[in-house]
């Protein structure tokens, strides 16, 4: 019988808020069974870049990762943010191990081809080392991934954290009963973006198409929901979308996505 695995992605709005991060890490550490955490850290990277006089370049909400920016995000994502999270999880009796995609060859990618925009050292994922991750999980370690991969030729790559979470869930879907959680600032998919009580609690493929056609899913939610259904179509059992409170067993305000 397959063991249950929870993969949780948390965004920068929580990471940069000390009390919110503490609350999240408590909820995460109390999740039953095997678990993996994936985190971003873009806002902190932008703040450090500004302090160092390096201008952050964004196109359509995506970071242009030149050589200087890659150094910054390596320091912030794989260093400061990752190790701070790991240390705080250890204090909560969650035996975490901090990783980038280069560690243990866990996530290999290629540099995104230039089409309309040159995103620089941005990575699109090719493979996940499921054997290594399954071994770490069976040792009762909790991997904590920052949003970085590598190309197998010595080059680190900035990689979307939502995509990393999705690809980890897909890669491990054959081995574990996998639930993927996307934690962000809203309590789920909303019928009315200005009303946090208008959560759509369940979305299947049919409902997804209806919400797309009605313009309910738009802007930043589009790529997030695409990642969700990509995961569901590739062996991931359940995807949940909402704020950190959905990790609390007693909370019912979040969106569950299924086929």
120 is in an annotated binding site: no
d(CA 217, CA 42): 24
- Take residue 204 and report the two structure tokens written for it: 């299947």
243 within 8 A of 183, measured Cβ to Cβ: yes
Tokens for 215, please give them: 């313009």
Q: State the pairing for strand pair 177-183/238-242.
A: parallel
* 63 in a labelled binding site: yes
Tell me if 41 is assigned to a ligand binding site.
Answer: yes
Let me know if 69 is exposed, middle or buried by CB neighbors in 10 A (0-12, 13-18, 19+).
Answer: buried
For residue 172, which of 10, 55, 5, 19 has the smallest C-alpha distance? 5
Q: Is 42 annotated as a binding residue?
A: yes
| Dist. CA 216–CA 193, nearest whole Å | 8
CA dihedral (67, 219, 101, 82) positive or negative: positive
Q: Can you tell me whether residue 55 is helix, strand or coil?
A: coil
Residue ranges at the known binding site: 41-42, 63, 158
Residue ranges at the known binding site for substrate: 41-42, 63, 158
């Amino acid at each position: 019988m397959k063991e249950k695995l929870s993969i949780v992605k948390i965004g920068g709005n929580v990471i940069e808020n000390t009390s919110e991060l503490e609350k999240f890490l408590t909820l995460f550490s109390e999740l039953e069974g095997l678990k993996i955490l994936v985190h971003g850290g873009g806002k902190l990277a932008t703040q450090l870049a500004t302090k160092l006089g390096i201008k952050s370049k964004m196109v359509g909400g995506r970071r242009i990762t030149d050589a200087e920016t890659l150094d910054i995000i390596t320091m912030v994502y794989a260093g400061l943010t990752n190790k701070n999270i790991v240390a705080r999880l250890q204090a909560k009796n969650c035996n975490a191990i901090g990783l980038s995609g280069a560690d243990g060859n866990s996530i290999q990618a290629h540099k995104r081809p230039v089409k309309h925009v040159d995103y620089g050292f941005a990575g699109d994922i090719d493979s996940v080392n499921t054997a290594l991750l399954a071994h770490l999980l069976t040792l009762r370690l909790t991997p904590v991934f920052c949003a970085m991969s590598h190309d197998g030729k010595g080059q680190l790559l900035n990689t979307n954290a939502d995509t990393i979470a999705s690809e980890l869930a897909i890669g491990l879907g054959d081995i574990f009963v996998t639930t993927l959680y996307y934690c962000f600032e809203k309590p789920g998919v909303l019928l009315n973006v200005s009303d946090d009580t208008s959560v759509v609690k369940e979305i299947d493929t049919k409902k997804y198409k209806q919400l797309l056609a009605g313009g309910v899913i738009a802007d930043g939610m589009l790529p997030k929901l695409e990642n969700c259904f990509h995961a569901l179509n590739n062996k991931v059992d359940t995807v949940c979308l909402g704020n950190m409170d959905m990790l609390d067993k007693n909370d019912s305000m979040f969106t569950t996505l299924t086929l």
